[in-house]
Structure 1
Amino acid sequence: MKKFALAILALSLLLGAAIPAAWAAELTTEQKFEALKKQGILVGMGDGNPRLYELMTREQFAQVLHRLLELPNATGKPTYSDVLKGRWSFDEIEAVTEAGLMVGTAPRKFSPAATVTVEQLASVLVRAYGSPAGAATVSGKVSNWARMSVGAALNNGFIASRSDYTAGATRGVLVDAVYAYFVKTQQSPLNVRSVEPITNQAVKINLLQRAETVDASLFLLQDSQGTSIPVYQAMLGGDGMYVILTTGTQAEARKHYVYVGGKAWEFTSTRSDTAKPLITGLTKSANRTYVLTFSEQLDQASAANPSNYSLSNGLKLKTLQLSADKMSVVFTTTTQSEGVRYYLTVKNVKDAAGNAMDTRSDLSFNGTNDDTKPKVSSVQINPSATLSVRFSEKVDPQLAIQTGRYKIDKGLSVLKAVIDGEGRTVTLTTSAQKDATVYTLTVSGIPDAAGNVMDTQTNLLFGGIANPVLPIRLQSISAIDENTVEIVFADRALTDSDIAKLNFVVLQDNGANISMSGWSRYVQRKAGSDRTVTVQIRTSGEANPRLFSPGHYYLGRVTGVESLLTDEGKNDMKFGGTVTSNEAPFVTKAVALSRSSVKVFFSEPVKNVNETSFAIQEQEGPAVAIDYDELNNTGAVVTEVILRLKDSLSPGKVYAMTFKQGVTDAAGWNGLKLKNGGSDFNVLFTGI
């Protein structure tokens, strides 16, 4: 998705000075509509009016989902008889259907002009977001099937609480929900506590929670007269609890608004002639070369005076120079000792107005004589159309994820950059690629851990993938009995190849590492679902072991599925044990279909089905001979079978079916139930 800051920028320019006076203001539904409209996610009706109070149709919802999630167009035959290729919403409806987000209202019927209820809206957005975990309590009127999804939508802020969730959803409800979803799925929002001015070119953003990274594009600044002020730089404080923004010159003593994650935070700018200069950053630009960045322009004499700078542990300055824009000081040092932490003290540096800075002695860097620059060692296109950029060594994680450091030709944009745990591979998500097209990637400005900045590399080639394998996300793992887990995935259906290659391991039991040496797994699809599998486990010594005990929690990991999201442990998940045992498969019922055939139903999928595993006898009468089973395939996994009889059944007579060894569960590990206590297990049925 496009950066949300761009939407807010467009909105702020549109609204001009009409900004709420509250110190942290929420956008109205109309303002949210304008922001999403600028992103191309929402459009007005034919006359441009948003018509927020009109009910939303299913095809309008499909159109919004298509744009919000940037879904690829479907390529197969039309799914619905009431949505033909000539209809304006054909591509959008086929795309959301293929993605599994919306389904028909009847066989081959989509009902495009029908309205959408609030609970249907909530269910689709929760399905798109991924997990209903942590659902809120629902007190209003809601259908049983939608209760969990509505609770999750409330918990995630997609919808507001109401008395009736079965009511139709207006376009205004859609706008609020899509806006909340859009903000939530962007770069993790900063949890802002307050905003305070430092100088008329610097603003401090105080946080409630520690942040790991920031980017200047997350912030927008505007004064009370509607004038936009550029944000040049965003520097995260050493403890991660505040951000210093370096901005263009702010008008003195005027109200200003910083937009962060869709909220406007108000402050009044300082008077420039009394503000002290501040150090906003210390970075390494080359071997033993560092850049001190200040909040405003500096006085040449004091900034270039070596006596105003000192280093600990015997390290000396070699050169010192004020930059051309007078906003930063570049210095080099003598030879450093590897691994030694050096502290820099800066004092008496003045701004252009003569205000002297407060002394700083907390700036530090680790000594190193490493002068080897990082390089891109490989570029690989993945089946999901993401691009893996591998570096020759660990790189700076904060700079490596800045999308502006990657450029691709032929109009392809880099939308997102994620670095792996090792710190050497960055995965790029791009805009839609074209088939049969060669692209050129250019990478620049990324330093290694020692601060050595790479030389710009270009001519990094890769071929486009127009129909990528969509990423798939692990949604849940749950124990359904003592040795079987159910695994649910989100975002796309599982292929046969995914099932064949899926691997599941249990890493921990109550936080302690465990070994699965000697364990075997049997993976199969769950009937009626294209995103769920069951994994049955046995040990080398026991076919039906007690593995997942009640009161215990376990850590499981899933691998092998094509394009499964694995960064930051997304393929790891905890699940609880259960008291439910893995019962042997058994026959649930037998039904006479005719005088010469009986249909048998099993409690779970089974295999090794053969007529020799069954016996039929009339109660207080003779045995009935079985001729053959219609399946005639002992390797097939089935839930029912039809037995053909040599002898005829008598209408109204009661028959007992008993069982012999042979039939097993789908894994082949547990045999069919034969006994009920000391007696043969039997199922009764009546002849016809």
Structure 2
Amino acid sequence: MNILRDELKKTKSGYEITIYLADNQTEFAEELGNGGNSGAKASIADYVKKKYPNLKVTVAKVVLGGVVLGTIPLAGGAASAAAAGPTDLDKASGYAKSAIERLVTQGVITGDQTGAFNPTGTMTRDALTTVLVKALVGQTDLVNPETPTFKDVPKTHWAYQYIETAVAKGWIKGTSGDTFSPTGTLTREQLATILVRTLGLTDDNIKGASSALTFADKDAISSFAQDSVAFAVANGLMTGADNNQFNGKGSATREQVAVVVDRFVTNKDKLQEAADAVKNASFTATAGDPNTITIAFKTAVDTLAAEDVAVKTADGTALKVTGVTLSEDKKTATVKTDTMTAGTAYTVTVSKEAVKGSATVTAPAALEYSAKPVGVKKIQVNFGTAVADTAAVKIGVKNPTGTTLTVSDVEYSADKTSATVTVASNLVAGTYTVTAGGVQSTDLSTTFTAEAEKVAKIEFASDKAVIGRVTTANDPNFGNADPLSITTQFKITNQYGEDITKAKQSQLTISAGKGTYTLPSTGTLKLTSTTAYEEGDTVTVTTLDSDTNTFASAVLTVSAPAKVSEITIDQLYNEDNDTLDVGDTAGDFSLVLTAKDQYGMNITDPSFFAKDTVVSVSNTSVVNVDGGASTPNVTYDESLDKLVLGLVEPTTNNNKMTAGTSKVTIVSKTTGKLASFDVVVKEDVMVDTISLSAPTVAAAGSSISVPFSAIDQDGKEMTSVDELTAGVSSITLSDGKSLGNGISFKKDLATGKVNINVEAIANTGTYTMTVITGTNKVSTLKLVVTDAKVPTTISTVTDLTKTFAIDAEGEFDFDNITILDQYDSEITPTWGSGANEYRLTVTPSNGYLTYEDGSGGALTELTDGGVFVANTKGTTTVDLVLQQNVSGVWTNVADYSFKTKVVEKDDIKSYELTDISTLLNDGATGYTSDHDRTVVVNGLLSDGSKVTVPTTENYYTITTSNPTDLTVTDGVLTASYDGADFDDNGNLTETVFVTVNDSKGTVLEKTVTVSNNAVKYTKLELVDGTYGNKENENQVSIGLAALKGLDNTDTTTVAAADLKILAADVVKATDQYGVEIKTDNYSVVASGFDGATSLTDLGTGDSFYLTAVAGGQKIVFQVTISGA
């Protein structure tokens, strides 16, 4: 008897089966048709009994060729399986009732002792095992071992045979070696795992299947179950819960298990077919991101090319495979494709004979990667997923000009889905690009637009202005009320809520109802009058930031003089974060104080601190305070914006500190409130262990930074340059260098990390660095020095419009190119024609576009002042070749090509007038011609791309709404207004008109702001100078002889005059109009010497920090001595 298929139908008394015979069963059909041969009927009954041993089937219909040949009543069989079922099926959910009824009919589910099934109750491990085995294993195939496998499932356990059978088949495991936990609850993810095992699948068979999961809580599913859940869901065994959740760790209810087991039994053949396909597959595939598929082969494959792999959707649409890369062991292939559609299933087919097969992947959604500024130096990066390995993530930031910024810190959120990135320099207006490598197989990239830092809010600390106090130290009234002055406090914040009072207070316009103002310290406003202020009087104060029109005012009530009312000692401060030990200089340490008056306002004037407080020091033989307890010398530290009380050595023990603790206590005379701080002086700190790491780049001819981690004898990490230098016995290099002689500890100001700095090694090779710690432990590192850094690649061409109208010109010089060395770092070649110097040739492919010197002369090399000139309509390829003069022969090093296009005027469909920045009136203080503004007009093609057009009347004419005071010369605006023309904020507005010479009579217009406000310093930044070289945003280098010779009056020493010239050389000052302020009027202070103790003993490799102040702005940068 050859049966094609059968169908079951539920009836009141059981089931009716319809059996479909194959077309070649005519003889069997005749037997049934001739009154029903008893042998034929027996065959039918035997078939039903074997296939459905636990099912009550009462009638069989036999069909051949669409004709019912006969109906055969079936007696006995499994009729007894329909014994009385559970009594509480009415409590089951609607979706589960039919499944439960079928399993009851089959005898798979029965009631408990009370006759209840308890549909919504939790399924236990022994109950699930019993249901599975009853559904899938015949009674005669149960095992019944003499010795139990688990100590908690004895032979007397009601489910003993079922549990032993499931374990023997590998469907389920114990919770430990000899424990099964039969009454333990079952989770949904555990259920999926058990069901997948019953199909004979192993973890390796379904490895990677979890990539197809799209549940919102997929990451919450245990790692051991993710692949099983994916298979169960993909094959219809299980579905998700509400809101796209799977709820893997949720308990599986008895009715849920019944539904899943019923699906399993009903579709077992299809499920087994799917499982067998997975088991027999030669590979598995997963989609890691929208452009990457990873294929894991069971055996190594010699080669695999793009043509060996096909990726198609369900309807047969092919997705382009752009590349294939084999792993080193040749068992994994990374396949790059065009972008897959999120949530779409793709069939991956490998046609290579040895690994022929197919697999299905589901394209993941593209990560919602984004970035936004959250501080003037901070960027919040959202990855769109939790980062698996933060150490593998590399975040890069490029500013609007394409320059890569130094990332000084990355702090990840607790869930690792975002990070706050701190860069070393302030964000400026423009579009930034943020990349992240290591989050997925391809780098992520996004952009954000930042605005320049601006004043967003000015607020007063209180509604009181306190009467001043007499400050003359020898005056008998010192500290008493001075009714001719009052003070109040205020704060300025930027658009990110950051306090910028210190940087911006000098640019405020301040007026008061009585008195003239000064700003004696950060956030302190002092009013002085010739007539006395009386308590209870009110004074109106207004403040205005004219750049942003941010305004604040307050009506202040004159109140009694402020006195120190409350004190806290915040910390023991040292510029290098040193811990205080007996070998240190006490003066390098100070106690940082926060003092508040009776109004709750901060006190930053130290004049009356000693008068208002009592200071005591418990053990002056350990350490004392500056001035002593009776006359403490409290000062204001501008960099900390805090009061500080310095430490000094004891007058005993030869003026040296001793190890121990000295408690400093400060008490307010007004309130009696006190603050105490234990100043602990330790024995000399020594490096106990040090771990050396290979540097990222160790190139001959350049200094080398060796990363390390050093731990002191107390198990704490050491980060102080001074303590590290004193805390090791020696550092030597096999080329003869040693600590203090070509080797030093140096702090990178940009990152804050200390590295071991090795001065340039001339020759390549392997060198051994040996470090002996202060506790005589030895650490070594093989330092492999590679080839010297040389230019190798022309990386990018930036800030160049590549489409021109005929007769238009575009500047192209050294600022437009970026060149990299062989280590992918930016490098500036030594330009020139001498031996081993470099040039860059510029060769347009035809005469449509030529490269000229600005006066019509042809150029063949890149040069400052060079311009492209558009001559004739057409496309030109510009070839750039970097060449080196090698023994008198120009030898090609690198090349780069880009295409330009020259169009005719008629090709231009429209025009745009770009925004015009605020224009400074030529009568304002600080005005230079650089403050004038160039009017920029671009053409636009039909596709929206920009065209550089000639600045001639053939294209457009520029006029203004006030041609008398706002004039235009060669496209440049100059403002010449009388001071009376401006509003109270020092501004006025005009309109600039551009009349386009086209058939439409197009007129473009822009509003421009003209300001009469004096130039103010707003930004200081490092640049490459004539004498000093910018190494990064926080560091410059200069030769010692060059530094000594900056001031010609004395070339033998480094003096303050030299430092002032250096600051003027490498520091660029910018005003509020974005224009550079040319100045040499810097106040300078040198500190933080590394490798030297002062300016007098500087040597190669030494460094110090230079603080330069101009116009109320400050910059601190590291100066490294690069050579003699």
TM-score (norm 1): 0.30
Q: Max radius of gyration: which structure?
A: 2
Q: TM-score, normalised on structure 2?
A: 0.20
Q: Which has the higher contact order (CA 8 A, sep 6+)?
A: 1
